[in-house]
Amino acid sequence: MSELYVKYLVCYDIVSNKVRKKFTDALEDLGLVRLQYSVFYGDLNSAESRSLARTANELLDPKEDKCFWYPCRLDIEKLKQCVGYKNFQYSEPDCHGRI
């Protein structure tokens, strides 16, 4: 995999259903995959990471909502040993769409 990508864990608690849907759509558009209802994981390049930060800061209300995104490399095989993740699959980015 290219060094252009960093794996991120994104977790959030968003009060508004409408805002939560917009934020979730934005995470999926970035190619992140859902691990739990409000937890996403995946590879982001620097532009995508900045886009995530911008989207969170534009959509979320810091008085009511919480969100963090943190560089984090999960061991997928160990994750599959956890409850509910036996069939979890994750595909590495192919890096052909480089900026």
CATH number at residue 43: 3.30.70.240
Residue numbers of the domain that contains 53: 6-79
> Is 59 within the bounds of a domain?
yes
Q: Does residue 1 form part of some domain? A: no
Q: Which tokens belong to 38?
A: 């409000």
Q: Can you tell me the distance from the alpha carbon of 94 to that of 57, in angstroms, rounded to the nearest whole number?
A: 29
User: The whole model's pTM is what?
Assistant: 0.84
Beta strands in 14-94 (DSSP E): 33-36, 39-44, 66-71
pLDDT above 60: residue 30? yes
Kindly report the backbone phi and psi dihedral angles of residue 10, in degrees, each rounded to the nearest multiple of 5, phi listed first.
-120, 125
Count the domains in the chain. 1
pLDDT at 75 > cutoff 70: yes
Is 37 among the domain residues? yes
69 contacts 56 by C-beta, under 8 angstroms: yes
Distance CA(18)–CA(33), nearest Å, equals: 20
Q: What is the pLDDT of residue 95?
A: 57
What is the mean predicted confidence (pLDDT) over 25-31?
Answer: 96
Percent of the chain with pLDDT over 90: 71
